[in-house]
Structure 1
Amino acid sequence: MAYVKDNPFMEGSSGTIAKKMNFRVKKNKTVIGKNPGARTGKPTDEQLAVQDRFTDAVLYAQYAMKDPQLKAQYQRAAKGGQTAYNAAFRDAATSPVIHEINISGYKGTVGNVIAIKARDVIPPKTVSVAILSAAGEELESGEAVPHQTDVRLCIYTVTAANAALPGTRIVVTATDHPGNSTEKETVVA
């Protein structure tokens, strides 16, 4: 791969020459590379799955650009020459990450707080919390709310008492705007 420098005739060019050389513009630089040629053979199931995910990400990014509020959020998240469309595409192509479930404030009483640190391209659309007994019975569930000053945190306020604390499972599900979900759980010792 080569870059075009100080050549006003080739700068900004894109396309293929003589089925050998491929010109494209990447991050405002003209890049010259070998023509990849035609694909041979049928795509594998894994390749088809990647193509489906790519198509889904494109469709979501197009949808997000039509929603002024989403577009503004993605524009704020765009970095390093990216567009809002690029940020929306990246959001659709990746799932949220739950970095931490802080249960130090959970003592099994109503009003206790569980803090969740979840990230994505833009803050996740929802962060759900389910509290399960050691036997697997759901004690309560609900939505965590964004922290007032730290956009990385969501706070869940406990609404049901739990006398049998050891073995209690806290299951957190973060869902982003495109619909990707991540689940993480922790067990109270």
Structure 2
Amino acid sequence: MAKVKNNIVTQGLSGMLGGQLVFRQTSRGTEVSVAPQAPTGPPTAGQTAQRTEFQQAVIYAKGQNQDPAVQAAYGAEAKAQNLSVYNVLLRDFMQAPNITDVDLDEYTGQVGELIVVTADDDHAVKSVAVKIENSDGTLVEEGPAQRQADPNLWHYRTTAPNASLAGDKITVTATDNPNHSTIASRTL
């Protein structure tokens, strides 16, 4: 791609020329590139899945963008990034939350012990749930974690005694505003 600055011939030029070159105006000047080629053959399964997900994102963003509460919640972020609220909603739909850490250092199987979860999202994590199962799959307990002052930190206080930790499975589920979830599991 060529970039042209302060050239009287290309200044203000945009669009396709002869089906071969594309001119586009940016803050850095005029960009010139080869025209994109039309795809040949039917789309792959991955392309079809991506198109379907993007269609769902557009439907979600258009619907949510009409809500004044959503406009208020996403407005500051959109303004800070010089984007529209619609574009921030699209991005939020396309990206599920991340669980970056599940801290089990304080968990010994007693009631009232702390499990700390670190989870983030491009906008916000709406909820975090913790589930503890014995090695044979029986449920010990499950429930919601509480958001802390740092919006990426969530605390879960255990409510049931757990005599044998060997092989127990801790499953953490983080959910964002578009209700996309990410699951992380740790085995003791």
TM-score, normalised via structure 1 length: 0.84
Higher alpha-carbon deviation: 50-59 or 9-18: 9-18
Instruction: Verify the 8 A CA contact 2:116 2:155 in the aligned structure 1.
Output: yes
1:94 maps to 2:95? yes
Percent of residue pairs bearing the same amino acid type: 36
Q: Where has structure 1 moved over 6 Å in runs of 4 or more?
A: none
Return the letter of the residue paired with 1:86.
N
TM-score, normalised via structure 2 length: 0.84
Instruction: Verify the 8 A CA contact 1:101 1:114 in the aligned structure 2.
Output: yes
1:53 maps to 2:41? no
Listed one character per residue, the Cα deviations across residues 65-95 of structure 1 (whole Å, up to 9, x for unaligned) are 2233333333444464333333222221122
Aligned residues: 187
- Alpha-carbon distance between aligned partners in 1 of 2:29 and 2:64, rounded to the nearest angstrom: 27
Residue number in structure 1 paired with 2:22: 22
- Alpha-carbon distance between aligned partners in 1 of 2:89 and 2:29, rounded to the nearest angstrom: 23
Q: CA deviation at 1:144?
A: 1.1
**Secondary structure in 1 aligned to 2:93?**
helix
**Secondary structure in 2 aligned to 1:105?**
coil
**Change over 3 Å in CA distance of 1:84–1:11 after alignment to 2:** farther
Q: CA deviation at 1:132?
A: 0.5
Residue number in structure 1 paired with 2:129: 128
What RMSD in Å do the two structures reach over aligned CA positions?
Answer: 2.5
Q: CA deviation at 1:170?
A: 0.8
1:107 maps to 2:108? yes
5 Å matches for 1:159-174?
159-174=159-174
- Alpha-carbon distance between aligned partners in 2 of 1:129 and 1:12, rounded to the nearest angstrom: 56
- Alpha-carbon distance between aligned partners in 2 of 1:139 and 1:126, rounded to the nearest angstrom: 20
Residue number in structure 2 paired with 1:181: 181
**Change over 3 Å in CA distance of 1:27–1:56 after alignment to 2:** farther
